[in-house]
Amino acid sequence: MTAIVVQDLRVSRGGTEVLKGISFSVDPGSVYALLGGNGAGKSTTLLTLLGFLTPDSGSASVLDNDVTQCVSRVRQQIAYLPEAATLYPHLNAYENLEYFLDLAGRKTTQLELDQALDEVGLQLESRSRHMEDYSKGMRQKVAISLAILRETPVLLLDEPTSGLDPVAIDEFNALVRNLAGLGKSILMVTHDVYGACQVANRIGLLRRGQLVGSFDAPAGERIETDRVHATFAERATA
Ligand SMILES: Nc1ncnc2c1ncn2[C@@H]1O[C@H](COP(=O)(O)OP(=O)(O)OP(=O)(O)O)[C@@H](O)[C@H]1O
Ligand SMILES: [Mg+2]
């Protein structure tokens, strides 16, 4: 079963067609990076998969469930990291995680919370502090750990490394590879060519609502950054 299938998807926002017939699929246990500039339609693609936007035509499915017909089943399979993840500033990291996991119907132990926060590299002494005192990168780490703790088969990540420093980005990329190795299917949207090449099995280049290029990682290797960057830059000025 393919994890995500998008076929000739067209989506309009505010009367303008934003996605102009895109098709791609994400294999189980793989990372697909949707790469594109500002306004290309990356977030729109994720919001459509989550059932927040209705396609004009075409289709999208998650684990064989159509996203317009089986909205709640689709959402149960997905952990979504939004572009600007908002957690509660007056709660600490543990309290935020417990609260949002409880809403998702998932009970966790303190050990599980600490393991997830270890994985994303949030310092132990910060975890009991209110998140209003956190830096952007620290907030992002808690949001990422929340997505992991949901334990869903599919992850949708919107600009997950934005606000992280280079070391944290490398750690995050390793974490994403690890999650794919555990069988998770990951769709990540980004405008970071380097990061996409580090983690993705396949990259789709999105330009003004159209997929204009696709790159596959050779078995056991990474996608070549220079090649993707050249195409990205060339298309961006076309
Ligand atoms: N709520 C909205 N109403 C109308 N148009 C919108 C809305 N949100 C986004 N758009 C338009 O849809 C297009 C695609 O936006 P989208 O947010 O999907 O881009 P993106 O690729 O995620 O960009 P970024 O890298 O800046 O996050 C843009 O032209 C944007 O102006
Ligand atoms: Mg976006």
Question: Tokens 């490398």 belong to which residue?
Answer: 170
Stronger pLDDT, 45 or 83, i.e. the higher one: 45
pLDDT digits (tens, 9 = 90+) for 26-37: 999 999 999 999
What single letter denotes the amino acid at residue 41?
G
**Angstrom distance (rounded) from CA 53 to CA 16:** 13
Residue 73: domain span: 4-237
Q: Whose CA is nearest to atom 31 of ligand 1?
A: 39
| pLDDT higher than 80, residue 236 | no
State in Å: Cα 85 to ligand 1 middle.
17
Residue 235 has pLDDT above 60, yes or no: no
What is the per-residue pLDDT for 233? 81
pLDDT at position 136, please?
Answer: 84
Mean pLDDT computed over 216-226: 91
Choosing from 6, 11, 43, 190 the residue with most ligand 1 atoms within 8 A of its CB, the one to mutate for a pocket test is 43
pLDDT in tens, 142-193: 998 999 999 999 999 999 988 788 888 888 898 899 899 999 999 999 988 9
- Of the listed ranges 46-50, 86-90, 125-129, 154-158, the one predicted with least confidence: 86-90
* Number of domains within the chain: 1
Residue 19 in contact with ligand 1 by CB distance below 6 A: no
Ligand of minimum distance to the alpha carbon of 37: 1
- Tens of pLDDT, residues 179-213: 999 999 999 999 889 999 999 999 999 999 999 99
Reported as a single tens digit per residue, the pLDDT across 95-143 is 999 999 999 889 999 999 999 999 888 999 999 999 999 988 889 889 9
* Any ligand 1 atom below 6 A from CB of 18: yes
Residue 27 CB: number of other CB atoms within 10 A?
Answer: 15
Say how many Å lie between the CA of residue 203 and the centre of ligand 2: 16
Give pLDDT, residue 237: 55
CATH code, 83: 3.40.50.300
Q: Which atom of ligand 1 is nearest to the CA of 36?
A: 21
Q: For residue 133, what are the CA distances in angstroms to 129, 130, 176? A: 7, 6, 27
